[in-house]
Every structure is written in C-alpha cells, then in structure tokens.
C-alpha cells in the first residue's frame, strides 16, 4: 500500500473515531437532559395539583 494513502487512511480512521466519541457524548448529554426535563415536568404537575386540584391529563 502507498504510504501516503496509508497515512490518509489512518488519519481518516482517527477522525471517524473522534466523531463517534463526540456523537456518543452528545447522546449521553441528551439522555441526561431528557431525565431532567421529565423531573421538571413531574414537579410542575405536582405544583399544579397542589394549587388547582387534579391537573394531570387523562391518559
């Protein structure tokens, strides 16, 4: 294999690995954000219930 092509392939592989790591980190952050939002929504429903009676929608 051409050494230049091999170097380019290794560089590309490293860039792809880094992009994958960033994507995984972004997914994990999104999951954490979702959990936080779900907790805030639950707290908001509890506050509404305490202020207005049962405010939860029928499911």
Tell me if 42 is assigned to some domain. yes
Q: Is 57 left (phi over 0), alpha (psi -120 to 50) or beta?
A: beta
Positions of E strands within 1-59 = none
Report CA dihedral (33, 38, 44, 47) to the nearest 10 degrees: -130
In a domain, 57, yes or no: no
pLDDT in tens, 7-25: 888 899 999 999 999 999 9
Domain that includes residue 10, residue range: 1-49
What's the rounded mean pLDDT across residues 26-50?
A: 97
Q: Which of 14-18, 24-28, 35-39, 50-54 has the lowest mean pLDDT?
A: 50-54
Which pTM value belongs to this model? Answer: 0.66
Residue 59 maps to a domain: no
């Amino acid at each position: 294999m051409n050494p230049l092509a091999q170097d380019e392939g290794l560089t590309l592989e490293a860039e792809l690995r880094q992009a994958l790591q960033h994507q995984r980190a972004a997914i994990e952050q999104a999951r954490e954000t979702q959990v936080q939002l779900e907790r805030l929504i639950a707290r908001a429903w509890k506050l509404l219930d305490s202020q207005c009676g049962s405010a939860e929608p029928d499911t």
